[in-house]
Amino acid sequence: AFEVDLKSKGASIAPDMWGLFFEDINFAADGGLYAEMIKNYSFEFPSPFMGWQRIQEQGAMGYHYTKPHLDESKNKKFLQMQRLNEEGVFGMSNAGFRGMAVKANANYRLTFMARIAKGENLSLKAQLAKGRNILADVNIEGLTRDWQEYEVMLTASETADQVNFKILLEGEGELDIDMISLFPEDTWKGRKRGLRKDIVQLLADMNPGFLRFPGGCIVEGFDLENRYQWKNTIGEMKDRGTMINRWNIEFAHRNAPDYFQSFGLGFFEYFQLAEDLGAEPLPILSCGLACQYNSGEIVPLDMLDEYVQDALDLIEFANGSVETAWGAKRAAMGHPEPFDLKYIGVGNENWGPQYIERADVFEKAIKSAYPEMIIVSTSGPSPDGHEFDYLWKELTARNAELIDEHYYKSPEWFLESARRYDNYDRNGPKVFAGEYAAHSTTEKDALKKNNWEAALSEAAFMTGLERNADIVRLASYAPLLAHVDGWQWAPDMIWFDNLGVYATPNYYVQKLFSTNPGTHTATITANGNTVAGEDGMYASATIDEKAKEIIFKIVNTNAEIRAFDIKFSGNVKGKNATWIELQSDQLDVAHSLKEPKKIAPEEKSVEIQKRVVKTELKPYSVNVFRVKL
């Protein structure tokens, strides 16, 4: 039998404990969450026509070039289309991010800037087409000799994937055109240049406590020049530029030579998303060390000022009044109220004395200007070995507040590590389990799937995180998003293509924890002992002081049913407990776009008789019980 101690209210659980890790990996931003449909919309990729193709049919004659803008913005180039005759069809087409998809009767907002360089009576036609089948068509007249911005709506006649966007020039002459952007009208909260509604909805449904951004290795970059610099990601699009993505890699199915960042999803949008989700924003910044797996480039300590200033300015951007320089920029983007930033991360998976020396400089500067800011330090890439121990020792000696631990390990490791935090020093730094995922060994190929074996072991491990919520303040699965036709890393919590999205079993595990958190730890035992692996069972309990409930989670990792009496140490209210069950008899079950819900939570009610709930916990099941106090 299990015993749930109703009077065992322990440590408070961080209200933001279960959160999200977002990184622009697997086309998670451009081509994913950020709903822009045109790849290389401003011709700023190093190959300026990547994503674009000239259309020249039925006797049409012409050329296309890029030319330089003469102003100071980061938008350096524009496209010139030259048409030498009026015959046939001439223009440019764009195939989007691993294709482009439209939905029947949905509206797509096209924006661009253009001017006539030569000729009279030039006009444009914008189309969405699948092969010869035109799904949307609009004419744009009234082009002038001065740069002007244009906005038109295209309505798709049917649902289709692998659609092309075409911009066709009609009349003889030369047209300059730039920033050709196409978004569904129906974005999250209906924002222009907004986010994909279906993906954000899945995130919102998790009620996440925090949103960590922008990564991951992406923070560091291949080298320092290509590190993530938040100041390049705010303001008008023409001032954001583009940059190669750290995950622009070339091998096998992970091939992504076309992976760049437009920064349309930039720091303002991340803060705004966190606010929409009711999540604490948690930005991570470069500490002056480029990805140590790549160039390993290091900024000398006496040249670190720019990096530290970026951190200080970011805090002002998030929290400063509109009277401050960076607060004013936030206000100019439409958010005069502060974003109430509480956490700031210094470095990602960095190691060695080089990290410690740089972290010291950041800490001194941040704490003297903003003593209330909570700094997240990194413990290096893996929880095993010397580097990890070294960094923990150094950071503990410095009274670090929160240390970011990452583990991508086998399901067995997750099961064996359910007691990982039982013996952490209660007076030492707190833990941010900032990236974790079980990498299943069931699959023989490289496509590590988000199967039930992985998700179940994560659930078992997470009972250990919850039991130790006095130490583990924050936790997030990683990575969050992946495009089914353009990923570099698996497993991932949510998968999508250009038309649809599905949540993995791992998502449902995360959601069970994040939507059933509790305010304080409580005790659930079996024969007086913590339940952390004995006989394949794992359990944790919490009290929710606001809802006046006791919540407990029991994971059965056995292949058979386990029957248990769950006894309460005192009286509970009501005659029934709510029982949410997530289960599969098969460990290798995974979801797909076609079969998105093979494993999904089922809610039922179970009788409480004389302070006892009788249960039969199914094989391979995650069970959450809620009981009124």
Catalytic residues: 349
Give min distance, CB of 34 to ligand AHR, in A: 18
| Residue 252 burial (10 A CB sphere; 0-12, 13-18, 19+) | exposed
Cβ proximity to ligand AHR: between 28 and 314 the closer is 28
Cβ proximity to ligand AHR: between 43 and 247 the closer is 247
Give min distance, CB of 503 to ligand AHR, in A: 18
Give min distance, CB of 246 to ligand AHR, in A: 8
Q: How far apart, in whole angstroms, are the C-alpha atoms of residue 416 and residue 457?
A: 9
Does 479 bind ligand AHR (CB under 6 A)? Our answer is yes
* Subset of residues 402 to 421 that bind ligand AHR, contact rule: CB under 6 A: 406
Does 32 bind ligand AHR (CB under 6 A)? Our answer is no
Give min distance, CB of 599 to ligand AHR, in A: 23
Question: How many chain residues touch ligand AHR (CB under 6 A)?
Answer: 13
* Residue 275: strand, helix, or coil: helix
Does 23 bind ligand AHR (CB under 6 A)? Our answer is yes
Cβ proximity to ligand AHR: between 217 and 622 the closer is 217
Give min distance, CB of 435 to ligand AHR, in A: 5
Residues 6+ apart with CB under 8 A from 371: none
Selected from 478, 512, 577, 617, the binder of ligand AHR by CB under 6 A is 478
Cβ proximity to ligand AHR: between 25 and 501 the closer is 25
Q: How far apart, in whole angstroms, are the C-alpha atoms of residue 566 and residue 42?
A: 62
Please report where in the chains the tokens 């929880």 appear, as a residue.
Answer: 383
Residue 377-406 contact track with ligand AHR, rule CB under 6 A, x = bound: ----x------------------------x
Residue 435-454 contact track with ligand AHR, rule CB under 6 A, x = bound: x-------------------
Give min distance, CB of 147 to ligand AHR, in A: 39
- Amino acid in the structure at residue 371: P
* Subset of residues 203 to 262 that bind ligand AHR, contact rule: CB under 6 A: 215-217
Does 345 bind ligand AHR (CB under 6 A)? Our answer is no
Cβ proximity to ligand AHR: between 292 and 514 the closer is 292
Residues 6+ apart with CB under 8 A from 309: none
The residue number whose beta carbon is nearest to ligand AHR equals: 216
Q: How far apart, in whole angstroms, are the C-alpha atoms of residue 515 and residue 188?
A: 21
Question: How many CB atoms neighbour CB 230 within 10 A?
Answer: 22
| Residue 1 burial (10 A CB sphere; 0-12, 13-18, 19+) | exposed
Q: How far apart, in whole angstroms, are the C-alpha atoms of residue 562 and residue 620?
A: 10
Give min distance, CB of 243 to ligand AHR, in A: 16
Q: How far apart, in whole angstroms, are the C-alpha atoms of residue 89 and residue 77?
A: 25
Selected from 348, 521, 542, 557, the binder of ligand AHR by CB under 6 A is 348
DSSP string covering 143-198: --SS-EEEEEEEE-SS-BSS-EEEEEEESSEEEEEEEEEEEES--GGG-TT-B-HH
Selected from 489, 502, 508, 564, the binder of ligand AHR by CB under 6 A is 489
- Determine the straight-line distance between the first and last CA of the chain, rounded to whole angstroms: 21
Cβ proximity to ligand AHR: between 288 and 479 the closer is 479
Question: How many CB atoms neighbour CB 334 within 10 A?
Answer: 9
Peptide bond connecting 216 to the previous residue in cis, omega within 30 degrees of 0 = yes
Phi-psi region of 327 (alpha: psi -120 to 50; beta: other; left: phi over 0): alpha
Does 24 bind ligand AHR (CB under 6 A)? Our answer is no
Give min distance, CB of 378 to ligand AHR, in A: 9
Cβ proximity to ligand AHR: between 56 and 382 the closer is 382
Q: How far apart, in whole angstroms, are the C-alpha atoms of residue 309 and residue 10?
A: 40
Cβ proximity to ligand AHR: between 90 and 461 the closer is 461
Instruction: Using CB under 6 A, list all residues that contact ligand AHR.
Output: 23, 25, 215-217, 348-349, 381, 406, 435, 478-479, 489
